[in-house]
Structure 1
Amino acid sequence: TVLVEVDGRRIEVSLPADLALSGGCEPAGVIRRKPKPRKRGAHAGAAASGDAVTAPMQGTVVKVAVEEGQEVVVGELVVVLEAMKMENPVTAHKDGIITGLAVEAGAAITQGTVLAEIK
């Protein structure tokens, strides 16, 4: 028998013997594997080199956080893209000045589209 709390209510649940906990915190027969490490910035980056800040995925531009001629630093928000109902930040990959701002809010873009350049 296990006591669980759901939404502030305590419920007593009886489990079959083969589902009962096996001495520790892991259920019997469960093997835990470490998750594969994610590449840093894989979902929200910009081009790794060069001047172009590119779209890491297809989506819609929700917000343009910079202006032409604005100075940015590494990691600063440039654009927010929406893809599959999730907002994804695209950040500056180097310090510099925004030039060639090529998108505006509401624009539909494809993966690899140049959003802006940083000189």
Structure 2
Amino acid sequence: MADSDVISPVTGTVWKQQCAEGQQVTEGDTLFILESMKMEIPVEAPASGTVSRLAVAEGASVDEDQVLCVIAS
């Protein structure tokens, strides 16, 4: 099966990281909470699997469409 990239929907800051490399996740689990314009935006897992790579850390600035992490199915 293919890996799934978890993409930032907005430009903002990683306010909370709620996943770790090697962690099993289920589709719909909240992986990150981004802060943009004083709003909190949850980013959910698009598929079930294992977080194989984290591309950002808590406190990092991110751009819209930037890869936050990769989930291996």
TM-score, L = length of structure 2: 0.93
Report how far residue 71 of structure 1 moved: 0.3
1:1-119 mapped onto 2 (5 Å cutoff): 51-119=4-72
Structure with larger RCO (C-alpha < 8 A, sep 6+): 2
Q: How many residues were matched structurally?
A: 71
Amino acid at match of 2:50: I
| RMSD, aligned CA | 1.3
The percentage of aligned residue pairs carrying the same residue is: 41
What residue ranges of structure 2 are gaps of 5+ in the alignment? none
Report how far residue 84 of structure 1 moved: 0.5
Q: Matched residues in 2 for 1:102 and 1:79: separation?
A: 12
Report how far residue 87 of structure 1 moved: 0.5
Q: Matched residues in 1 for 2:58 and 2:24: separation?
A: 20
What residue ranges of structure 1 are gaps of 5+ in the alignment? 1-48
Q: Give the structure with the higher percent strand.
A: 2
